[in-house]
Amino acid sequence: MKRVIYLFLFIILSSNFSKAQFDIFSPKTSIGGYGELHYNYVKPNGKDATKTLDFHRFVLFFSHTWTEKWSFNSEIELEHNFVKDGHGELELEQAYVQYKHSQAFVFQAGVVLPSVGLINETHEPPTFLSVERPEYNKNIIPTTWFGNGLSILGYISGFNYKFTVMEGLDASKFKTSSGIRSGRQKGFNANAEDLLYNFRVNYQDVPGLLVGASFTYNNAVNDTTNNAISIIDLHAKYYANNIYAVAEFGNISYDNREVETSQGFYIDLGYNIGSLLKVKTEIIPFVRYTDYNTASSTVSGGDSEKEHHRTKWMIGAAVKPIPYVVFKIDYSESTIELDDAKTDLLNIGVGYMF
């Protein structure tokens, strides 16, 4: 009888010990990344075409988890193959310490991304349909936009929120042709006199659907008079039932500038015909319409507004043999309102992420 009791106690103690071993957290270092190769054919009306072949981006992610709550994440990007004499770029786009108290409260500090639009935070090539990122996400929302600061984020009852405080913009580098894009300080000895505040909320409680909005404010520094800017961004996407639909709208208001507002939007609609062909490969033909103006409202008005107003129709296809690899092709025609000048563009690309 004693032997039976001893054996029973041994089994109980052994199982508890094994469970304790299983529950111990092990620190882990991970690596990931993405990249994309592009062929671009650009032919302005009445001019010769230019043809380029460029490995546009090579990006590596490095992360380390110390405990279940404390971790580190980073992203290093090389653009255009190499950096020399003003060619190419090497950037530290993310590098932050993260504390996860719960699903509802996460804290990040370091080099962070403000949550503006759909692509600034999630821009791996397989996650969008066109070869190049949408022009809206370059000329209205300056993707990729990063800087030194901190973020608080979380998920509560179907809503995903994020609040970011970070370095502001340099108003002296704003341009009529590209809005606030050149004003990003990119974390390099950034002027912290006037910080930028960004708040975003998304609703994600319906499978495949994301609907959200963000607001950004910064009293952008200048050598003389600051220029306060505010950005309102509305965005939605639906990736489910073989349907790929995306819509983004953004408006930038300026307090002290010849340009009073920059504004734009685009709409994507695609369908995975791979399901109709009974193949596992995703084959997604799509159409896109884009309309943006970096000087949609100006003090002087007239032709200064029409000069920077562009519309673009695009047709294309994205093919994903697996979810992490994509082959893309698209053709588009871009038109400037002022003189109805048209440009034909053909892009072919391959991208990956891991």
Round to whole Å and give the CA distance between 261 and 267: 21
Residue with tokens 């709208």: 249
Look up residue 97 and give its two tokens.
Answer: 């310490």
Cβ-in-10-Å burial (0-12, 13-18, 19+) of 350 comes to middle
Top-level class of domain 100-353 = mainly beta
Q: What is the pLDDT of residue 3?
A: 53
Phi and psi for 125 in degrees, rounded to 5?
-50, -40
Q: What is the pLDDT of residue 86?
A: 83
For range 226-241, the mean pLDDT:
97
Q: Taking 80 as the threshold, does the pLDDT of residue 40 lie above it?
A: yes
For the stretch 61-113, pLDDT in tens is 999 999 999 999 999 999 999 999 889 999 999 999 999 999 999 999 999 99
Residue 2 parent element (H or E): helix 2-23
For the stretch 320-329, pLDDT in tens is 999 999 999 9
Q: What is the pLDDT of residue 304?
A: 86
For range 347-352, the mean pLDDT:
98
For the stretch 22-34, pLDDT in tens is 458 899 999 999 9
Q: How confident is the model at residue 2 (pLDDT cuts 50, 70, 90)?
A: low
Which pTM was predicted?
Answer: 0.90
For the stretch 163-221, pLDDT in tens is 999 999 999 999 999 999 999 999 999 999 999 999 999 999 999 999 999 999 999 99
For residue 128, give the nearest of 32, 247, 23, 211 by alpha carbon.
Answer: 247
**Residue 75 carries which side chain, given as an amino acid letter?**
E
For range 119-135, the mean pLDDT:
97
For residue 335, the tally of other CB atoms under 10 A from its CB is: 16
Are 316 and 286 a contacting pair, CB within 8 Å?
A: yes
User: Is the pLDDT higher at 6 or at 239?
Assistant: 239
For range 343-352, the mean pLDDT:
98
Q: What is the pLDDT of residue 24?
A: 80
Q: Taking 50 as the threshold, does the pLDDT of residue 11 lie above it?
A: no
Share of the chain above pLDDT 90, in %: 89
Q: How confident is the model at residue 7 (pLDDT cuts 50, 70, 90)?
A: very low
For range 285-289, the mean pLDDT:
98
For range 137-146, the mean pLDDT:
97
Beta strand ranges found along the chain (DSSP E) = 28-44, 50-65, 70-84, 87-102, 105-112, 147-156, 159-166, 196-203, 209-220, 227-240, 243-254, 259-271, 282-298, 309-322, 325-336, 341-353
Q: How confident is the model at residue 302 (pLDDT cuts 50, 70, 90)?
A: confident
What is the pLDDT of the chain when averaged over all its residues? 93
Q: How confident is the model at residue 43 (pLDDT cuts 50, 70, 90)?
A: very high
